[in-house]
Amino acid sequence: MRQSSLVVVANRLPIDDNQAPDGACEWRRSPGGLVSALHPLLRHTPATWVGWAGGTGPAPALPDVDGVRMHTVALSPEDLRDHYEGFANATLWPLYHDSVEQPQHHRRWWEAYQRVNQRFAEATAQVAEPGGVVWVQDYHLQLVPGLLRALRPDLRIGFFLHVPFPPPELFMQLPRRAELLRGMLGADLVGFQRVQAAHNFAQLVTRVLELPATDRRIGIDDRVVRIGAFPVSIDTAEMAALADRPDVAARAHRLRQDLGDPRQVVLSVDRMDYTKGIEQRLKAYSELLASGDVKVRDTVLVQVAMPSRERVGQYQILRERIEREVGRINGEFG
């Protein structure tokens, strides 16, 4: 098995399975936010990406993508249901987003989360070179740093959380809060999007684990774990170059014509998720139309909502509400 000096570990691989015009399956770079943020960093650095390919059953062997090796972790239907749809996205996700939806707690979800995190840690231990760097991503894999350190203490481990990290009064609702914190502290560096998130983490480590901590350093097991805020951006130069391409400009012109050539096009592109404010945005637009501040003949709102976690009940309900609101707006003002 080939090993790498840099290993990225994320719940999903940075590619999607697409069907080519001739009916064959082909793997292409995923359009997701995490991939868009990391891709520019990995284009010039030999690396291996450890992740799930998106299906259930045996792990497929996949080709390299843009020079990055793909190493697949298999998930069973039970893993998908209990780890991904359950603990990750029905327990942690709503809790980390201010409990916009009520987090749910089930013992078998936690057991699956532990099992899958162990599998990711073992896969990473196999592909990382001695003394290599491992960069673990996001809330799906919060136990991996600690599990990986137990397997490979020679590695330098980083962990980055791409979503908000909640204040103590919310995080303390988690029955397994201590285990999650210890898992993250297996890293040498723990990164967050915002300074407040790093502060919340330090407060919780002091309160739950009774460890000495500041907003920058935490002491544990004769080690020092560094923490901090490292906001993620996209490659703005790449996006600007893409927008300047003649074929992109021509396509944008055709789209505007298809919409009736309005003076203003309001465009929003989001995952179908209750944290994105899609429903509230539609209602705000409806109020602008009703008040006359926005004229139907002058302005078109285009809301692109990518399907997401469609087997999770909360997301099914959200999709139905948004589709009803779109129908109501078009019916009332169309």
* 328 occurs within a structural domain: yes
Q: Which of 4-18, 23-37, 294-308 has the lowest mean pLDDT?
A: 23-37
Of the ranges 59-63, 65-69, 254-258, the best mean pLDDT one: 254-258
Supply the range of the domain harboring residue 106.
Answer: 4-229
* 180 occurs within a structural domain: yes
- Does 24 or 87 have the greater pLDDT score? 87
Same-domain pairing of 177 and 305: no
Q: Is the pLDDT of residue 79 over 90?
A: yes
* 173 occurs within a structural domain: yes
Per-residue model confidence as pLDDT tens digits over 282-308: 999 999 999 989 988 899 999 998 877
Q: Is the pLDDT of residue 315 over 80?
A: no
Q: Domain boundary residue among 203, 229, 255? A: 229
pLDDT reported for residue 66:
76
CATH number at residue 221: 3.40.50.2000
Show the DSSP H helices in the chain as ranges: 33-42, 77-79, 93-96, 107-127, 144-151, 168-171, 177-184, 195-208, 236-243, 246-258, 278-291, 313-333
pLDDT reported for residue 21:
53
Cα–Cα separations (whole angstroms), residue 301 to 181, 217, 258, 287: 42, 46, 13, 13
Same-domain pairing of 46 and 174: yes
Residues 6+ apart with CB under 8 A from 93: 139, 163, 275
Q: Is the pLDDT of residue 22 over 60?
A: no
Total domains present in the chain = 2
Same-domain pairing of 168 and 272: no
Q: Domain boundary residue among 200, 229, 258? A: 229
Same-domain pairing of 79 and 28: yes
Instruction: Say if residues 161 and 191 touch (Cβ distance below 8 Å).
Output: yes
Pairing type for strands 4-12 and 128-137 reads: parallel
Same-domain pairing of 207 and 256: no
Q: Domain boundary residue among 229, 260, 291? A: 229
Per-residue model confidence as pLDDT tens digits over 161-219: 999 999 999 999 999 999 999 999 999 999 999 999 999 999 999 999 999 999 999 99
Same-domain pairing of 27 and 56: yes
Cα dihedral 144, 145, 151, 152 sign: positive
pLDDT confidence tier of residue 24, bands split at 50, 70 and 90: very low
What is this structure's pTM? 0.84
Q: Is the pLDDT of residue 234 over 80?
A: no
In the chain, % of residues over pLDDT 70: 92
Same-domain pairing of 204 and 100: yes
